[in-house]
């Protein structure tokens, strides 16, 4: 009998870091994936490159560069930490610009994806509200623009359910008319771990597929489709209930194994299942009841405002030399 195809029951995550951790064995890294990690001042930065097609298929992520900033302390409301994260984000983002060969005068279009009326999905529109946009100044009064700024424009195109138009179609039309040198897409993501929700920022040079985090299949915003380099910025804001239940079972089984000499009779056959099989079982229980929900922390309103300010401040500093990384703090308060 052939092995069942359990890909539909894989843990859903938009974070390349989590995909790598799930694909790696306990003792060996995933072939074709390079990564390095450093920690400083409460910020853990992981830089990763998916180098081969085989690694891309194994992780379920596109080939390219990914940077993940993990900051568990962000939930504490420390404004000094907000400043440090915005500064770190700006520095990492500048490295992406340099790698792509984006000059300091190149024009940039920033797209805030998501639904501004649904708080966990409002990251993109909130970031757009806090950006320093300057393209109109270059169009109308170029001779009065101080050195150190570049043409930056921004839109929040909404979602298919409210506009009736695919986001990629709207963005493609704007790109064709305004002809930016770079597109930056900002979107909310889904994570595997609840601890990473609203405490993590991912940057990638692979573009983005709107709605992918909640299982929707949409036409992507990529260089192949739009004809310009595309950078993606995302913050995980939700976790599937089935993923939380599955993780909770893992924690329960590990706790039992540590404290019970004979754990097998307590855990039973469920403890012998692999993660895909166990997740399949959890989904089969929750889906018919309509309870495989998307879960977000109750303080999501406060978290979203903070994360949007951090991302917008970092972008302002990275894109406009006149703003500079030293002035990030002024934009995070």
pLDDT at 55: 93
3 state DSSP class of 230? strand
User: Do β-strands 182-190 and 108-112 pair in parallel, antiparallel, or remain unpaired?
Assistant: parallel
Asked whether residue 227 is domain-assigned, the answer is: yes
- How would you class 56 by CB atoms within 10 Å of its CB: exposed for 0-12, middle for 13-18, buried for 19 or more? middle
- In order of 29, 104, 132, 240, 293, the CA distances from 153 in angstroms are 40, 15, 9, 34, 35
Asked whether residue 211 is domain-assigned, the answer is: yes
**Strand stretches in 141-217, DSSP E:** 152-155, 182-190, 200-204
Spatial CB neighbours of 93, under 8 Å, sequence gap ≥ 6: 203, 231, 233, 314, 315, 318
Asked whether residue 317 is domain-assigned, the answer is: yes
Asked whether residue 178 is domain-assigned, the answer is: yes
Q: Which residue has the tokens 């990275």?
A: 318
3 state DSSP class of 231? strand
Asked whether residue 251 is domain-assigned, the answer is: no
Angle (CA) 191-99-150 rounded to 5° is: 95
b/e sequence 300-329, b meaning 16+ C-beta within 10 Å:
beebbebbbbbbbbbbbbbbbeebebeebb
Asked whether residue 282 is domain-assigned, the answer is: no
Instruction: Specify the length of the chain in residues.
Output: 333
What's the domain range around 45? Answer: 10-238+298-331
- In order of 41, 50, 133, the CA distances from 107 in angstroms are 33, 28, 11
- In order of 50, 167, 192, the CA distances from 10 in angstroms are 20, 27, 10
In angstroms, rounded to a whole number, what is the distance separating the alpha carbons of residues 62 and 43? 25
pLDDT at 145: 92
- The tokens describing 30, both together, are 């995933």
Looking up residue 53, the CATH number of its domain turns out to be: 3.40.50.1450
pTM for this entry: 0.85
- Mean pLDDT, consecutive 10-residue segments, the chain of 333 residues? 42 86 75 94 95 92 96 88 95 96 96 94 96 95 93 95 91 96 96 90 89 58 94 94 78 76 68 68 68 81 94 97 63 41
Asked whether residue 81 is domain-assigned, the answer is: yes
Number of domains in the chain: 1
DSSP per position, 234-294: EEEEEEEHHHHHHHHHHHHHHHHHHH-SS-HHHHGGGGGS-HHHHHHHHHHHHGGGT---E
pLDDT at 332: 43
pLDDT at 275: 65
pLDDT at 110: 98
Following CA atoms 122, 125, 126, 129 in sequence, which dihedral angle do they give, to the nearest 10 degrees?
-170
Asked whether residue 3 is domain-assigned, the answer is: no
pLDDT at 210: 63
């Amino acid at each position: 009998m052939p092995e069942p195809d359990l890909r539909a029951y894989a843990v859903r995550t938009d974070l390349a870091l989590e995909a790598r951790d799930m694909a790696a064995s306990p003792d060996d890294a995933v072939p074709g994936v390079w990564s390095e990690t450093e920690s400083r001042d409460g910020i853990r930065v992981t830089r990763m490159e998916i180098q081969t097609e085989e690694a891309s298929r194994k992780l379920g992520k596109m080939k390219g560069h990914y940077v993940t900033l993990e900051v568990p302390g962000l939930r504490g409301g420390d404004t000094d930490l907000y400043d440090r994260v915005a500064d770190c984000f700006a520095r990492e983002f500048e490295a992406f610009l340099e790698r792509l060969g984006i000059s300091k005068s190149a024009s940039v279009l920033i797209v805030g994806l998501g639904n501004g009326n649904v708080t966990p999905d409002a990251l993109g529109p909130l970031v757009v509200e806090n950006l320093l946009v300057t393209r109109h100044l270059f169009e109308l009064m170029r001779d009065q623009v101080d050195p150190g700024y570049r043409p930056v424009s921004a839109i929040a195109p909404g979602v298919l359910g409210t506009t009736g138009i695919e986001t990629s179609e709207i963005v493609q039309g704007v790109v064709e008319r305004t002809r930016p040198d770079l597109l930056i897409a900002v979107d909310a993501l889904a994570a595997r771990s609840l601890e990473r929700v609203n405490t993590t920022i991912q940057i990638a040079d692979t573009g983005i597929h709107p709605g992918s985090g909640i299982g929707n299949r949409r036409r992507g915003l990529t260089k192949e489709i739009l004809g310009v380099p595309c950078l993606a910025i995302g913050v995980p804001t939700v976790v599937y209930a089935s993923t939380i239940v599955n993780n909770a079972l893992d924690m329960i089984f590990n706790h039992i194994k540590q404290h019970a000499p004979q754990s097998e009779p307590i855990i039973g056959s469920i403890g012998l299942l692999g993660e895909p099989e166990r997740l399949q079982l959890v989904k089969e229980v929750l889906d018919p009841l309509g309870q495989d929900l998307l879960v977000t922390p109750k303080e999501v309103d406060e978290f979203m405002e903070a994360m949007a300010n951090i991302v917008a401040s970092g972008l302002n500093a990275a894109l406009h030399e006149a703003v500079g990384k030293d002035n990030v703090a002024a934009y995070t308060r």
